[in-house]
Amino acid sequence: MKVGITCYPTYGGSGIVATELGLELATRGHEVHFITYANPIRLDPGIPRIHYHEVEVSTYPLFQYPPYCLALASRMGEVAECYNLDLLHVHYAIPHSIAALLAQQMLASTRRLPFITTLHGTDITLVGADRSYFPITKFSIEQSDGVTSISEYLRRETVEVFGVSNEIRVIQNFVNCELYFPDDAKAGAAAYAPQGEKLLIHLSNFRPVKRVLDCIRILAEVRKSVPAHLLMVGDGPDRGPAEHLARALKVDRHVSFLGKQNHVERLIPLAHVLLMPSDLESFGLVALEAMACGVVPVATRVGGVPELIADGENGYLEAVGDIAAQSARVVALLTNEDLHYRMRKAGRWDAAERFCTDKIIPLYEKYYEDVLNG
């Protein structure tokens, strides 16, 4: 198949899923055309059957807000026509889904161009639910030739919030288990924890929904019983407040803020425990990546996370903001070798058996066929 993929190319779960999906499809022989405003972060150029088409958004003094959606729709139409694409697959509804609808209509007199929208979370729960975007988000879901969501939770939420009646197929997030795998020796950890401290890790876009300050509070609590060091990977609005809190709680020497990192698969396996104290996660891709690397997630019982983490089996789930409970789980994992061993093995097994690329990518291929034949 010839597939056009559009996503946000920056750091974020939806862009990562879209990019890795494109790479996997290309590996399986499909021709993949990324249509985005910048090269997606995890996309190395020069891979066979992967093409990249940049969307240029011209500015003009009249435009206080340059019309990105229109530039994207034009580019989608051009690429679809020029490369004879079979379908468009857009990740994150706003504004990609509407741009795909416009591209489809532009070509309607000459050819059929179905488009699939994959919902990732905040496009439904935060942005899409906002009054200013609600009607257009609902419309774009209804007009899509196919809709998928990355968890059963998000499917239910979409139906409830938008009252849409079209089928939404759940295709959960996936991980490349050959790229993300355990490093039991953890030799590289010494660079961050020279005294042999246990390593905790958090990765996100540091937006308020991620509750990054809770990570600092958990570290301070854990350090009362176990020497531990925290790696904070990513950047965003709450990085400054988190750095400030680390100083205030006198744990700043025990936290490394590493900023945005391109090869998280090299960092995650160094850790013992992943902290994911989010207010909401529609899936929690980073917890899956951690599990694949034999790193045990301590997370919150929100959104689609329970579809991935079985509490007490392959990780822990606690209430949002309950620092004492999350810290106690971390301490238990860091002080009980057998418990840590059992849970990290279960996590790796679940990642490989339920969420590995070879289990999930065929579901997308099948869905493409269904939509093309539908």
- The whole-angstrom separation of Cα 213 and Cα 211 is 5
Q: Could you tell me the smallest distance in angstroms from the CB atom of residue 19 to ligand GMT?
A: 11
- 368 scored as a contact of ligand GMT (CB under 6 A): no
The answer for residues whose C-beta is within 8 angstroms of residue 163's C-beta and 6 or more apart is 138
368 three-state secondary structure:
helix
Element (H, E) at 32: strand 31-36
Residue 320 beta carbon to ligand GMT: minimum distance, rounded to whole angstroms: 12
Closest distance of CB 60 from ligand GMT, Å: 30
Interface with ligand GMT in residues 64-93 (CB under 6 A): 92
117 lies in the binding site for ligand GMT (CB under 6 A): no
CB of 121 to ligand GMT, least distance (A): 2
Residues binding ligand GMT: what is the number (CB under 6 A)?
A: 20
According to the binding rule CB under 6 A, does residue 207 interact with ligand GMT? yes
The reply to whether 300 sits near ligand GMT by the rule CB under 6 A is no
Phi–psi pair at 269, nearest 5 degrees: -65, -15
By CB under 6 A, residue 186 contacts ligand GMT: no
Q: Do you find a cis peptide bond into 40, omega within 30 degrees of 0?
A: no
User: What is the helix (H) or strand (E) element at residue 241, kind and residue range?
Assistant: helix 239-248
Q: Which of 140, 78, 146 is CA-nearest to residue 110?
A: 78
342 near ligand GMT, judged by CB under 6 A: no
What distance in Å separates the CA atoms of residue 224 and residue 209, rounded to the nearest whole number?
27
For ligand GMT, the closer CB: 10 or 74: 10
Q: Binding segment for ligand GMT among 6-14, 35-43, 133-141, 361-369 (CB under 6 A)?
A: 6-14
Helix-then-strand count for the chain, H and E? 13, 13
Which of 281, 307, 318, 350 forms a contact with ligand GMT (CB under 6 A)?
A: 281
Task: Establish if 269 lies at the interface with ligand GMT (CB under 6 A).
Answer: no
Residue in 4, 40, 114, 284 binding ligand GMT, rule: CB under 6 A: 284
Closest CA relative to residue 290, chosen from 277, 271, 304, 307: 271
Q: Which stretch binds ligand GMT (CB under 6 A): 134-142, 179-187, 202-210, 251-259?
A: 202-210
Binding piece for ligand GMT, criterion CB under 6 A, among 30-38, 66-74, 117-125, 317-325: 117-125
Nearest approach, Cβ of 289 to ligand GMT (angstroms)? 10
Q: Decide whether 189 or 201 has the Cβ nearer to ligand GMT.
A: 201
Instruction: Closer to ligand GMT by CB, 6 or 173: give it.
Output: 173
* Contact with ligand GMT (CB under 6 A) among 19, 122, 137, 148: 122
Selected range binding ligand GMT among 30-38, 177-185, 246-254, 278-286, rule: CB under 6 A: 278-286
Given candidates 285, 293, 328, 361, which one binds ligand GMT under the rule CB under 6 A? Answer: 285
Stretch of residues binding ligand GMT (CB under 6 A), selected from 7-15, 73-81, 101-109, 182-190: 7-15
Inter-residue contact 279 to 256 (CB < 8 Å): no
Q: How many Cβ atoms are within 10 Å of 97's Cβ, its own excluded?
A: 29
Rounded to an integer, what distance in angstroms lies between the CA atom of residue 154 and that of residue 118? 11
Residue 13 touching ligand GMT (CB under 6 A): yes
Among 87, 209, 219, 352, interactor with ligand GMT by CB under 6 A: 209
Residue that is written with structure tokens 């209804």 in the block? 142
C-alpha 41/C-alpha 84 separation (Å) is: 26
145: contact with ligand GMT by CB under 6 A: no
Buried b (16+ CB within 10 A) or exposed e, 343-353: bbebbbebbbe
CA distance 58 to 285: 34
One-letter-per-residue 3-state SS of 185-208:
CCHHHHHCCCCCCEEEEEECCCCH
Contacting residues toward ligand GMT, per CB under 6 A: 12-15, 17, 92, 120-122, 150, 173, 205, 207, 209, 280-285
